[in-house]
């Protein structure tokens, strides 16, 4: 174990010398916020490069040469390119000396983390998009789809009755993944009052994430009621300044909802 820790420290030092990894992201995207929260918890310094997927910036040749899938988030760690938000979160944790605190090495514990990551990306998040994405373009509220979302939320509620955190007795990247989804579900106006364990877990997880406002909440806020009415909202001025300082891309125009979910995952 001491050798493993030493290797991780050396790797982190080499990454520092090589330069910060680039994270291509869209600020309101739930998958992008998974990576941002992971970086926040572990104190990882990323070079944030904003791609406005509403304007099709993900289709520019220079980005397609990096990621042919044209999806965000995309990580470029000095030539090592990785897409898919949960894979990026796992990679960031695996290459960080403190990563084990949110991504355990034990095979059984890690398997449970993976189980909950898959639960989020294959069930909970798709159920949310299936209900709310059509509403962004004027569709009526669909009770059948709402019931499916509530069914998935009930499953998460049951998991949280059995464990302190989503995947056991410690916060993991599974919690960060689910947090991005659940806070977006809540912001979009879905009633979570019947899920007390989820509400307790949300408050606890917020408190455990440094710089939570920037890493998740600012993006979450774009999903509040006005998104379902098709309105746009400008990025908060304080975030505009912060992100400009952190990013090599300074363009910050108005942001609406994520209308093309395959671009963000």
Angle CA 17–18–20, to nearest 5: 95
Question: How far, in Å, are 8, 130, 143, 158 from residue 150 at the CA level?
Answer: 41, 12, 10, 12
| Rounded CA separation 179/45 (Å) | 21
Residue the block writes with tokens 């898959």 = 118
Half-sphere exposure of 249 (CA within 13 A, CB side): 17
3-state secondary structure of 84: coil
Question: Which domains, ranges and CATH numbers included, belong to the chain?
Answer: 2-100+231-263 (3.40.30.10), 101-208 (1.20.1050.10)
Catalytic, out of 2, 28, 29, 264? 29
Active site residue 29: yes
Local confidence pLDDT in tens for the 265 residues of the chain: 665 655 655 555 555 445 899 999 998 999 999 999 999 999 999 999 999 999 999 999 999 999 999 999 999 999 999 999 999 999 999 999 999 999 999 999 999 999 999 999 999 999 999 999 898 888 888 999 999 999 999 999 999 999 999 999 999 999 999 999 999 999 999 999 999 999 999 999 999 999 999 999 999 998 885 444 444 344 444 443 333 333 333 222 223 333 434 566 7
């Amino acid at each position: 174990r001491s050798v493993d820790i030493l290797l991780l420290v050396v790797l982190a030092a080499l990454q520092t010398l090589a330069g910060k990894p680039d994270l291509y992201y869209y600020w309101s995207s739930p998958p992008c916020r998974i990576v941002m929260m992971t970086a926040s918890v572990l104190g990882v310094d990323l070079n944030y490069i904003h791609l406005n997927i509403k304007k099709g910036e993900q289709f520019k040749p220079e980005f397609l040469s990096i990621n042919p899938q044209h999806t965000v988030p995309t990580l470029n760690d000095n030539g090592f390119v990785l897409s898919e938000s949960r894979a990026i979160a796992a990679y960031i944790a695996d290459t960080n000396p403190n990563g084990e605190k949110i991504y355990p090495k034990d095979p059984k514990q890690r398997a449970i983390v993976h189980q909950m990551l898959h639960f989020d990306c294959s069930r909970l998040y798709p159920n949310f998009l299936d209900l709310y994405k059509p509403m962004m373009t004027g569709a009526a509220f669909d009770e059948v789809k709402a019931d499916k979302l509530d069914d998935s939320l009930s499953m998460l509620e049951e998991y949280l009755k059995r464990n302190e955190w989503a995947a056991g007795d410690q916060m993991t990247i599974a919690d960060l993944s689910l947090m991005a989804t659940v806070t977006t579900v809540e912001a979009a106006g879905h009633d979570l009052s019947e899920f007390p364990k989820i509400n307790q877990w949300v408050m606890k997880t917020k408190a455990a994430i440094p710089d939570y406002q920037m890493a998740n909440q600012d993006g979450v806020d774009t999903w509040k009621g006005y998104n379902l009415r098709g309105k746009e909202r400008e990025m908060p001025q304080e975030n505009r300044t912060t992100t400009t300082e952190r990013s090599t891309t300074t363009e910050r125009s108005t942001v609406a909802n994520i209308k093309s979910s395959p671009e963000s995952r």
